[in-house]
Amino acid sequence: MQITQFVRRAARLHPHRDGFRVDGRARTWAQSMGRIPRMAQLLQAQGVAEGDRVAVLAMNSDTYGELLFAIPWAGAVAVPMNIRLAVPENVYTLNHSGASVLVVDESFADAAAELAAQCAGIRSVIYMGNASARSGMVELEAALEGLPGVAESARRGDDLYAIFYTGGTTGYPKGVMLSHANAVSLALSWLAALPPGEEHIVHMHVGGLFHLSGAAYLWYTTACAGTNVFLPKFEALPVMKAIAAHRVNSTVLIPTMVNMMLSHPDFAQHDLTSVRQCIYGGSPIPEPVLLAAMEKLPGWRFVHAYGMTETAGMATTLPACYHVLEGPLAGKRLSAGRSSAVCEVRITRADGSEADTGEVGEIAIRGPNVMLGYWRDPAATQACLRGGWMHSGDAAYMDADGFIYIVDRIKDMIVTGGENVYSAEVENAIHRHPAVREAAVIGIPDAKWGETVHAVVVLAEGMSLDAQALIAHCRTLIAPYKCPKSVDIRTEPLPKTAAGKITKKPLREPYWRDHARRVH
Q: Are 174 and 167 in contact (CB under 8 A)?
A: yes
Name the strand (E) or helix (H) holding 404.
strand 404-409
List, in sequence order, every residue forming a beta bridge with 125; answer none if it has no partner.
Answer: 102
Of 195, 194, 225, nearest to 20 (Cα)?
Answer: 225
The residue-averaged pLDDT of 227-241 equals 96
The structure's pTM equals 0.89
pLDDT digits (tens, 9 = 90+) for 146-189: 999 999 999 999 999 999 999 876 678 899 999 999 999 999 99
Query: How many CB atoms are closer than 10 A to CB 319?
Result: 17
Q: What per-residue confidence (pLDDT) applies to 408? A: 78
Residue 302's pLDDT is 96
Domains and CATH numbers, the chain: 5-179 (3.40.50.12780), 413-512 (3.30.300.30)
The answer to whether 279 and 267 are in contact (CB under 8 A) is: no
Give the model confidence (pLDDT) of 484-503 as tens digits: 999 999 988 899 876 677 88
* Res 374 pLDDT > 70: yes
Is-contact 414 451, C-beta < 8 A? yes
